[in-house]
Amino acid sequence: MSSNIPMAERLRPKTLSEYIGQEHLVGKNGVLKNIIESGNIPSMILWGPPGVGKTTLAQLISNQLKRPFFTLSAVHSGVKDVRSAIEQAKKQKFFNTPNPILFIDEIHRFSKSQQDSLLGAVEQGTITLIGATTENPSFEVISPLLSRCQVYILNSLDENDLKKLLKSALKNDIELKKQKFIIKETEALFRFSGGDARKLLNILELLMHSYIGEKQIIINNKTVTAKLQENISYYDKKGEMHYDIISVFIKSIRGSDPNAAVYWLARMIEGGEDIKFIARRLIILASEDIGLANANALLLANSCFQSINIIGMPEARIILSQTVIYLANSAKSNSAYLAIKDAQKLVQETGDLPVPLHLRNAPTKLMKNIGYGADYHYAHQYDENFIDQEYLPEKLSGKSIYKTGNNPNENKSKELLKKRWGKRYDW
Nearest 5°: the CA angle 343, 347, 351 is 170
In this structure, is residue 169 part of a structural domain? yes
Check which CATH number belongs to the domain holding 196 and give it.
1.10.8.60
What CATH number is attached to the domain comprising 254? 1.20.272.10
Residues 197, 99 share a domain: no
Laid out side by side, the sheet with 44-47 consists of: 69-73, 101-105, 128-133, 44-47, 150-153
Do 27 and 111 have their domain in common? yes
For residue 392, what are the domain limits? 350-425
Q: What is the CATH number of the domain that holds 38?
A: 3.40.50.300
Cα–Cα distance between 338 and 344 in angstroms, integer? Answer: 10
Domain boundary at 230, 260, 281, which?
230
Question: In this structure, is residue 315 part of a structural domain?
Answer: yes
Radius of gyration of the chain measured on its C-alpha atoms: 29
Tens of pLDDT along the chain (427 residues) come to: 446 788 888 999 999 889 999 999 999 889 999 999 888 899 999 999 888 999 999 999 999 998 989 988 877 777 888 888 888 888 876 666 788 999 999 898 888 888 888 998 998 888 999 999 988 888 788 899 999 999 999 999 999 999 999 999 999 988 888 888 899 999 988 888 888 898 899 888 888 888 877 778 888 988 888 887 776 455 555 444 666 788 889 999 999 999 999 999 998 888 778 888 899 999 999 999 999 999 899 999 999 999 998 888 888 899 999 999 999 999 999 999 998 998 988 888 888 888 888 777 777 777 777 777 788 888 888 888 888 888 888 888 878 888 888 888 888 888 888 888 877 776 6
Are 65 and 95 part of one and the same domain? yes
Are 325 and 389 in the same domain? no
Instruction: Give the domain-ending residue among 230, 258, 289.
Output: 230
Give the number of C-alpha atoms closer than 13 A to the C-alpha of residue 194, restricted to the C-beta side. 15
Residues 324, 310 share a domain: yes
Q: Which residues of 393-405 are buried (b: 16+ CB within 10 A; e: fewer)?
A: eeeeeeeeebebb
- 112 and 145 fall within a common domain: yes
Residues 320 and 373 occupy one common structural domain: no
113 and 183 share a domain? no
129 and 34 in a common domain: yes
First to last CA, the chain: 73
One domain for residues 136 and 185:
no
Q: Does residue 341 form part of some domain?
A: no
**pTM over 0.75, yes/no:** no
d(CA 156, CA 247): 22
Q: Is residue 390 part of a domain?
A: yes
Assigned domain for 412 exists = yes
Q: Which of 131, 153, 175 is the last residue of a domain?
A: 153
How many domains are contained in the chain?
4
9 assigned to some structural domain: no
Is 299 in the same domain as 360? no
Residue 84 inside a domain? The answer is yes
Q: What is the pLDDT of residues 355-408, one digit of tens each?
A: 888 777 777 777 777 777 788 888 888 888 888 888 888 888 878 888 888 888
Give CA–CA dist 427/422, Å, rounded: 10
- Whether residue 7 is contained in a domain is answered as no
Which of 45, 106, 29, 98 is closest to 74 using CA atoms?
106
Answer yes or no: do 116 and 146 share one domain: yes
